[in-house]
Amino acid sequence: MAVTLEQAQRVGYTCLKALLRFAFMVANNLVAIPFYVLYLIVLQPLRILDSKSFWYIEGVLFKWLLAMVASWGWWAGYTVVEWGDDVKAVSEDEAMVLVNHQATGDVCTLMMCLQDKGTVVRQMMWLMDHIFKYTNFGIVSLIHGDFFIRQGKAHRDQQLVLLKDHLEKYYWSRNRKWIVLFPEGGFLRKRRETSQAFAKKNNLPFLKHVTLPRLGATQVILKTLVAPQENGTPSGGDGVRKVSKSKGLQWVIDTTIAYPKAEPIDIQTWILGYRQPTVTHVHYRIFPVKDVPAEPEALTNWLYQRFIEKEDLLTHFYETGAFPPPQGQTKAISREMTLSNLWLVAIQSFAFLSGGMWYCFFQYLYHCLF
């Protein structure tokens, strides 16, 4: 079929736009990540003298970096509509966030929709696949104190021990509040067949839009971070908790991400922006941590139930284009999440100005030494 002039122009415009966006993203990374690292190197004396202030500043810089990533999607027209419980109400409390995982764009979506949730972004800890450590953003996550988990049966037990140690060492000392994890342990397309075979073998529900979650990381987080008075058992790191005056985890936020037509956005699309403007839908349900069972078998059943509910939510969404109303209500209310373009431009400008400042500093230093 012959290509019309209009179609050729549209393809040309899309390719040019993708190329320009990619160039901007590369430039953005070349200045933003070094400015984050260099500022924190300069501030190391403050880390010794006043650790709380140091990690406060680090958190602000971390939030700005995530806002830059969010801006790539926001300016491409990839927006978010939120449903269910209003998580702003618990943004100053400690919470574990359970998220379904479909593509690399899930992380970008969370980076965007959590930007307007108070101090959440700068005080959150992420659990992510170890391969992320070797990306351009890996150094930032290492400094921030995120945890990189290695998948596979051969590593599972060791990784859970390392996770417990990591939480006790970094969670309270850096005043973290939210911890985000993807209990499915991988992307939907990669795990669905295995999960369905496991469900059939163990007489569990057949799931199409999510996979059965894994218990390990969730159980370690609850055992380590829930205050003793809430689960009736001793928790690790109590000495640090007393210093930080932490109440321990208070909430579990069950988060469900849905893409129109079940077509998830990946990181390449987020960067290049070649897909038409898309609204991603995010549904929240908040559970008090005291209602979450601690015993392994009961916790497994509770976690399975959450993902069975996700399956129902996503089935309803793909059939109707909206999430169902909460139980006892007749209408579901959605909230459009917005970002300030002025704020995003200000952050990007600060990053590029900082990059220029550091470049001039090192040029001056080079000339002084040589």
- Predicted confidence (pLDDT) per residue in 334-357, tens digit: 999 999 999 999 999 999 999 889
pLDDT of residue 1: 54
- Predicted confidence (pLDDT) per residue in 123-143, tens digit: 999 998 888 888 888 999 999
212 token code pair? 């059965």
State the CB neighbour count (10 A cutoff) for residue 269. Answer: 21
Average pLDDT over residues 170-182: 94
- Predicted confidence (pLDDT) per residue in 9-23, tens digit: 777 888 988 899 999
Separation CA 160–CA 221 (nearest Å):
9
For 78-227+247-342, CATH gives 3.40.1130
- Give the CA diameter of the chain: 74
Q: What is the pTM of this model?
A: 0.90
For 35, 70, 74, 199, 348, the CA distances from 341, given in Å and listed in that order, are 22, 11, 9, 46, 10
At 228, is the pLDDT very low, low, confident or very high (cuts 50, 70, 90)? Answer: low
Beta bridge partners of 254: 98, 285
- Predicted confidence (pLDDT) per residue in 33-57, tens digit: 999 999 999 999 999 999 999 999 9
Contact of 255 with 283, CB cutoff 8 Å: yes
Q: What b/e sequence results for 103-124 when a residue is b if at least 16 CB atoms lie within 10 Å of its CB, and e otherwise?
A: bbbbbbbbbbbbbbbebbbbbb
Question: Would the pLDDT of 241 be above 80?
Answer: no
Separation CA 240–CA 137 (nearest Å):
28
138 token code pair? 């890996």
Question: Would the pLDDT of 231 be above 60?
Answer: no
pLDDT of residue 330: 80
Nearest to 230 by CA among 246, 249, 215, 254: 249
